[in-house]
Amino acid sequence: QVQLVESGGGLVKPGGSLRLSCAASGFTFSDYYMSWIRQAPGKGLEWVSYITSNGGTIYYSGSVKGRFTISRDNAKNSLYLQMNSLRAEDTAIYYCVREWEVGSADAFDFWGQGTVVTVSS
Amino acid sequence: DIQMTQSPSSLSASVGDRVTITCRASQSISSFLNWYQQKPGQAPKLLIYSASNLQSGVPSRFSGSGSGTDFTLTISSLQPEDFATYYCQQSYSTPLTFGGGTKVEIK
């Protein structure tokens, strides 16, 4: 069955860095676009970034562009998010999410359980 | 950016009630609209994709409709396991955006 397992979260000071990882299994990872989506405590969902199946196209939300870098290693079935210059407002649960293309549309069909990032001094 | 506005932000309902949640996009998104359910402490789950298509394994009491800017998620007969927060999401263009959520609570 499809599994997405995030790791790398933790407590970091403002201005610091973290690298999140997501280990995928149960499907052909290299066939799928992947995204990171976050949820601040008690708040709604915010899409952060996505990467196409071969890594050739990447998009970021305006709130993280220039600070975060998404990448993937299809040989290792892994997705990454390098987060630099972290701010208090980056505090959230970060979900690794598979993007499923159906016709010309797409949807987030499988989600990991998330990893918690806390930015605080 | 496309803004997604859900209403209401919360509602109270009883088991067996028919529940309707609406989602409005700030510009036309055709049928590029998905719905998710999130229970406390859990990751979201895909319910409906492309506005009206039921994801595999999702009970048929859930349905979606709409196109353009106005969309609806309907639960025909609310069950105890349906008490959760529901989010709409547009996949028409980046940045991909979500509605603010609708919390369905027990009356």
**CB-based burial, B69-90: b 16+ in 10 Å, e otherwise:** bebbbebeebeeebbbbbbbbb
Beta-sheet pairing, A45-51 with A58-60: antiparallel
> Is residue B107 predicted with pLDDT exceeding 90?
no
Strand ranges for A10-104 from DSSP E: 10-12, 18-25, 33-39, 45-51, 58-60, 68-73, 78-83, 92-102
Q: Does B2 touch chain A (CB under 8 A)?
A: no
Shortest distance, CA B21 to any CA of chain A (angstroms): 16
Residue B44 C-alpha, separation from nearest chain A C-alpha, in angstroms? 7
With beta carbons under 8 A apart, name residues in chain B contacting A107.
34, 46, 49-50, 55, 89, 91
Query: Which phi and psi angles does B80 have, rounded to 5°?
Result: -55, -35
Whether B43 and A107 lie within 8 Å, measured CB to CB = no
Given an 8 Å threshold on Cβ–Cβ distance, is B91 in contact with A44?
no
DSSP annotation of A110 reads E
pLDDT digits (tens, 9 = 90+) for B16-37: 999 999 999 999 999 999 999 9
- Calculate the alpha carbon distances from B88 to A28, A78, B50, B83, B106 in Å: 27, 28, 11, 16, 21
pLDDT per residue of chain A (121 residues) written in tens, 0 to 9? 999 999 999 999 999 999 999 999 999 999 999 999 999 999 999 999 999 999 999 999 999 999 999 999 999 999 999 999 999 999 999 999 999 988 778 999 999 999 999 999 9
Is B43's pLDDT higher than 90? yes
